[in-house]
A and B are shown apart, each in its own frame.
Chain A
């Protein structure tokens, strides 16, 4: 697949933004600047980025508890995100949702979700609306290896395949459901194989190769757009950190951790850009610096923003 310099550089920049955002979030969280819990996407950037690069603003995504990467990849604004992590009034959700409930409906982001597997039926509903309204928009469902064991996966796959809905089920297989290693929580290795049970295509790709993800996602999205129904794109990846910030992740095999860190998607795309002559090391350094600046501006915005007023406790339960 011929991929333009614009797309490749755009994807690289997105991945850098996600990485830097998450690293800063980790530091700020450890320093006590954010309440609650955060579940960071460090290491998985290629998945959200490669998939969302094949989408438009009118397409929908449902996200997970580990949703910062999806939201950024789909075009979410990092200042509003950071402010939401801080619980500020200027946050995406006025401080009332937090990390696991960030949403931007105008960008088709139907929310990060605190319930594992909840996005699956919701993405089916969004895809149904796309088909019903005869737009050629599609829905993407991001979900993990753990979530693929839930009944919601089965029901959503069944309905989507039976109704031939324009939804792509993207499984981010990072091989852990919190502390439970994939080998111990399912009997199969390739979650893409589950697609066969629903009579739809399923493909497994290197989730740390943003080009491979982009290619597989583009094909699945095109299939959905032309009305041929759903499919599964399984992206094999690894989260560098624990399940939540503060999780020492002792359940991980240190050798396996080392091996996956060596397959970090960001150095890989940097090497590719240089190899293709699309960027020099100087360009890369400049982009890194620019992204860092943008993240710092977002942090400043969050730090300087006000808390929501007490009256916000009681608003937004009802529409109209």
Chain B
């Protein structure tokens, strides 16, 4: 084990996989010499060289196409979309090409590609650089989506994503880059599809992912002082969803609050709430609540942005409504 930041951990995951398999390469804007917009790929260019750490032009359609074509032709690309918000300019490559080629070709193509992309608000980056758009991807059959909340998972899910033979979106949250934690040494693989119960509790299930996991944990601390013991389920993987982990928890506690940073309407929380209502109805002692951002773009003003992002206090308030 080693103490390292979330950013160092995801980089370590890439490093492990690139050392292990020569077919793995990295491509994106400023990933090479510059080391990544936030520094995510620092050092990889020096270790692996410009053939394997490729600086691309500002052409997301071609970058994602590079991922699709090279994966179909036998490589294992990690391509970067510098901000998740840019997904709109390469949506066809994701939705109509990467996601569908295998099915439409009757199972013949294999596209083992990873798309790494930062999400999230909190840095005053404003409306076009702060979004969490995992719900768009969850709605596309054929794309896997992982969103680590901890440094250990940043490394494990990175390696898990690279080793998966499907297109996997690895969504890294910007404000978590500096978060420190214990990370296993050497190769550490967490395949997509399994949630993690970070804290056990009997009174309410807090289901969260990415940065909101930490709000849920903080809320659980506050609630414990009031005698309400919250269980915190970190989904880790949006697709495949670990439905069993969600249902096991809700069947135990009888109450559920889903916390996501993405805006409320059409957010992935709705999907989870529907599943709980459908399959855990008899266990519920209260309605299923969602704590999410309002249905607005992310504001620039620091105070307004803070208001936008769900807080531990908002989670606590939602939980109190259930009792």
Contact = CB atoms under 8 A, between A and B. Distances in A.
Contact of A118 (B25, B57, B92): B92
Contact of A156 (B25, B51, B62): B62
A125 B105 contact: no
A125 B106 contact: no
Contact of A105 (B25, B70, B72): B72
19 contacts: A92-B105, A95-B106, A97-B106, A103-B101, A105-B72, A110-B69, A110-B72, A114-B96, A121-B66, A124-B65, A125-B73, A129-B73, A129-B74, A139-B69, A152-B61, A158-B59, A159-B57, A316-B106, A317-B103
B106 A92 contact: yes
B110 interface: yes
Contacts of A320: 164-166
Interface of A: 60, 62, 91-97, 101, 103-105, 110-111, 113-115, 118, 120-130, 132-133, 139, 151-152, 155-156, 158-159, 162-163, 315-320
B303 interface: no
B139 to A, nearest CB: 14
Contact of A128 (B57, B66, B108, B109): B66
A122 B106 contact: no
Given A122-B68, A125-B70, 10 more contacts: A93-B105, A110-B72, A121-B62, A133-B75, A152-B62, A156-B65, A316-B103, A317-B141, A319-B110, A320-B164
B277 to A, nearest CB: 24
Given A128-B66, A129-B73, A105 B105 contact: yes
Interface residues of B, number: 42
A92 B106 CA distance: 7
Interface string B104-130: 111111111000000000000000000
B305 interface: no
Interface of B: 25, 51, 54, 56-57, 59, 61-62, 64-75, 77, 92-93, 96-97, 101-112, 141-142, 164-166
A74 to B, nearest CB: 15
Contacts of B106: 91-97, 316
Nearest to B107: A316
Contacts of B92: 115, 118
B82 to A, nearest CB: 15
A59 to B, nearest CB: 11
Contacts of A93: 104-106, 108
Nearest to B113: A125
A105 B110 CA distance: 9
B107 A94 contact: yes
Contacts of B105: 92-93, 97, 101, 103, 105, 111
A152 B90 CA distance: 10
